[in-house]
Structure 1
Amino acid sequence: MTDTVKGPASYFPSIEKKYGRSIAEWKDLIRTSPLTKHMELVGWLKTEHGLGHGHANALVAHTLAEDSGK
């Protein structure tokens, strides 16, 4: 029996398929951005990289949570 992925990570397969970058690449971009606030990063991913709001939000939420140890 496999566990269903929940939360932001549930978007990861479709993000990789739709935008052609691995999740690790997206996280590296987020981490190297001079922006630090959640919604600033979401807006940046949307405008500069063409991500949809839900995908950008999932990547930022997961990356920031991971970096804060949550």
Structure 2
Amino acid sequence: MSEPVKGPASYFPSIERTYGRPIAEWKDLIRSAPATRHMELVAWLKTEHGLGHGHANALVAHTLAEDAGR
């Protein structure tokens, strides 16, 4: 039996349902954003794309960790 998804990725199904975009598209947006720091990216997703804080934070945390090889 597989382990349940934990951490930021546990938000992904809700993010896709709520905002209608696949996670890969959100990650591409984050990687091409004018900001580079975690909280700047969170604020950018909230103001420019209307995400809630928890969803924006989960996407940024997961994307930055993935890019750092963690």
* Fold shared by both chains (TM-score > 0.5): yes
Structure 2, unmatched stretches of 5+, are none
1:14 aligned counterpart, secondary structure: helix
Which string of whole-angstrom CA distances, capped at 9 and with x for unpartnered residues, describes residues 4-54 of structure 1? Answer: 000000000000000000000000000011210000000000011000000
- Mark the runs of 5 or more structure 1 residues left unpaired by the alignment: none
Identity of aligned residues (%): 81
TM superposition shift of 1:2: 2.7
Counterpart of 1:6 in structure 2 is 6
**Where does residue 57 of structure 2 map in the other structure?**
57
Q: CA RMSD in A?
A: 0.6
The equivalent of 1:27 in structure 2 is: 27
AA at the equivalent of 1:32: S
Secondary structure at 1:21 match in 2: coil
